[in-house]
Amino acid sequence: MSAKEQYDELTQRTREVALLGSTSAVLHWDQETYMPPEGNELRSEQLSMLAGMAHDKFTDKRIGDLIAGLESSDLVKDPLSPEAVNIRELRHQYDKETKLPKSLVEEMTRTTSRAQKEWVQARKDSDFKRFQPWLEKVLELKRQQAEAYGYEGEPYNALLDDYEPGATVDDIEKVFANLRDELVDLLDKIKGAPKQPDVSIVEREYDVDKQKIFGEMVASAMGFNFKAGRLDITTHPFCTGIGYGDTRILTRYNPKRLNDALFGTMHEAGHGLYESGLPKTDHFGTPMGESVSLGIHESQSRMWENQVGRSKPFWQHFFPILQNLFKESLHGVKLDDFYAAINNVAPSYIRVEADECTYNLHILLRFELERALLRGDLKPADVPDEWNSRFEKYLGIKVDKDSNGCLQDVHWSFGLVGYFPTYTLGNIYSAQFFNQAKKELPDLEQQFERGELVNLRHWLKEKIHSQGQRFRATDLVEEVTGSPLDHRPTIDYMKAKYGEIYGF
Ligand code: ZN
C-alpha cells in the first residue's frame, strides 16, 4: 500500500467517526431544544450507544497501524502540510484514547454520574460535607487518568491537555498570576471611582420577540449565515458545529434584563463563526477541519461579545436601532449612559453572572484550587475555607454560604478538572487577537461605527478559522500576533475602557 492509499484509508475511517459524532450532536441539540421531557431516557441510550461506537471505531488497531506507517512516510516532510498536521494530531488523540483502561473509563462514568446527583443536593442544602467524599473520589480518578496518560511536570498538565492541547501549567501560571494582581488593583479603583453607571437602564421591560429580532440582526451583521445555521432557545446557551452547512447557536431571553440574550447571542454567534469558518468542506473528520482548543474557541466568542459587543463604536451604529425597537424602556437614554450600564462592574458570588472584569478572578481562583487539590497541597475538606479566604482577597466580598461559593459550579462533579483555565485563556487570547486585528485593519473601529462587522470576521477566518489545527494554541497566538501568551493586552484594554467609564 502506498502512503497515499494508507492516508486515504485513515481519513475515510476518521470521517466515519466524525459522522457518528455529528449525528450525536444533532440528537444532543434536539435534547436541549424540542425533545419532550419523557424522551430523556431513550435519548441517553441513543447517545451512549453512538459514543461507544465512535470510541470503538477510533481505537481500532488498524488506525494505530496506519498512523504508525504514515509517520515515517514522505507525507510528514512538511510539518505544516494538512497531511502532516492530521497525522500529528491523530497520533495525539489516538494515544490518549487508547491509554485509558476501560475499567477506569467505566468507573469514571459511574462515579461522576453519582457525584452530580450528590452535588445537586449538596448545593441545594449548601452542605459541602455531603459533596466532599465525592470530590475526593473524582480527584482520585483524575489522578489515575493523569498517570495513565503520562505527563511532564505535574499531573495537572495531563488533564489540561484534554481541553488545551499542548498547554502546560508553566506556560500559564505566571501570566495568570500577573493578571490576577492587576485585576485586583483595577477592581479597587473601580469600586472607589467617582462615577458609577446606572444599571437600571438595562433592567427594564424588554419584549422577548423584539430582543430576538435584534439578536438575529446583529448575528447576521457579524456574518452568521442563517441558511447554514439556526438560532434557538435553550436553558443553558451553547453552540454546536454539526458539520459543513450546519452550525447551530442557542440562547435564552430574560424579559427584564437586556444583557443576557444580547451578549449571550453575540457570544454564541462568535463560537458559530469559528465553527462555520473551519475548512470543513475539505477536511471534515480530520484535525485540519477542527477547532484548536477550548481556549481558542472561547477567544472567538469573547471577542465578539466584549471587544465588539461592549464597545462604543459598535453602539454608535446599533444603539439608535435598539432605541427605536424599545421606544419606552430606552426613551431619552443617552448612548454614554447605555454604554456605561452594559459595562457595569460589580463583584458578585456567582461566576456565570459575573461582569467582564471580575469574571477572570472567579476563574483564577478555581484554577489555583484545583491545581493545589490535584497536587495534594490542598485537602478537599479545606476547600470551603480556602475558597472563601481567596474570594474575599480577590473580589472583596465575604462568601455567605457554600452554595454561593465552592458548590456553585457543576464542573468538578462531572470530572472536568483542568477545564476552568480555558475561560481565562480565551479572554487573554481574544485581547491579543483583537489588538492585532486593529493593527492590520486600522479603520476597524470606524467600520464598526457604520455597522460593518464583516471585515473582522474575514480577518478571523483567514488568520484563525481556516487554519484548523495546523497550529497548537500557544503557537497560533505567536503566529498571528507575533508574541506569546501575554496578559498585557487584556489589562490595557480594561484599564482604558473602565478608566473612561468610571472616570479615573
Ligand atoms: Zn463560550
**What does the alpha-carbon distance between residue 21 and residue 27 come to, in Å, rounded to a whole number?**
10
CB atoms within 10 A of CB 121: 12
> In angstroms, what CA-CA distances link 363 with 180, 191, 325, 352, 425?
10, 20, 36, 10, 10
- Average pLDDT of every residue of the chain: 97
Under 8 Å between Cβ of 373 and 139: yes
Q: What percent of the chain has pLDDT over 70?
A: 100
Q: Which of 89, 118, 268, 298 is catalytic?
A: 268
**What does the alpha-carbon distance between residue 445 and residue 172 come to, in Å, rounded to a whole number?**
30
* Residue 368 designated active-site: no
What local confidence, expressed as pLDDT, does residue 351 receive?
95
Please tell me the distance between residue 295's alpha carbon and the centre of ligand 1 in angstroms: 9
What local confidence, expressed as pLDDT, does residue 216 receive?
97
Cell digits for 250? 442557542
User: Could you tell me which residues come within 8 angstroms of residue 386 by beta carbon, excluding any fewer than 6 positions away?
Assistant: 369, 372, 378
What local confidence, expressed as pLDDT, does residue 313 receive?
98
pTM of the model: 0.96
What local confidence, expressed as pLDDT, does residue 20 receive?
97
Please tell me the distance between residue 298's alpha carbon and the centre of ligand 1 in angstroms: 5
Please tell me the distance between residue 234's alpha carbon and the centre of ligand 1 in angstroms: 15
Under 8 Å between Cβ of 290 and 469: yes
Please tell me the distance between residue 267's alpha carbon and the centre of ligand 1 in angstroms: 6
Give the chain's radius of gyration (CA, Å): 23
Please tell me the distance between residue 504's alpha carbon and the centre of ligand 1 in angstroms: 31
Please tell me the distance between residue 239's alpha carbon and the centre of ligand 1 in angstroms: 8
**What does the alpha-carbon distance between residue 129 and residue 122 come to, in Å, rounded to a whole number?**
8
Collapse the DSSP code of 233 into the 3-class scheme (helix H, G, I; strand E, B; otherwise coil) and give the result: strand
**What does the alpha-carbon distance between residue 112 and residue 109 come to, in Å, rounded to a whole number?**
5
Please tell me the distance between residue 102's alpha carbon and the centre of ligand 1 in angstroms: 31
pLDDT < 70: residue spans in the chain: none
Please tell me the distance between residue 352's alpha carbon and the centre of ligand 1 in angstroms: 11
Among 135, 183, 136, CA closest to 412: 135
What local confidence, expressed as pLDDT, does residue 102 receive?
87
What local confidence, expressed as pLDDT, does residue 209 receive?
97
Cell digits for 496? 482604558
What local confidence, expressed as pLDDT, does residue 156 receive?
97
> Exposed e or buried b for every residue in 376-385, given b needs 16+ CB within 10 A?
eebebeebbe
Please tell me the distance between residue 23's alpha carbon and the centre of ligand 1 in angstroms: 22
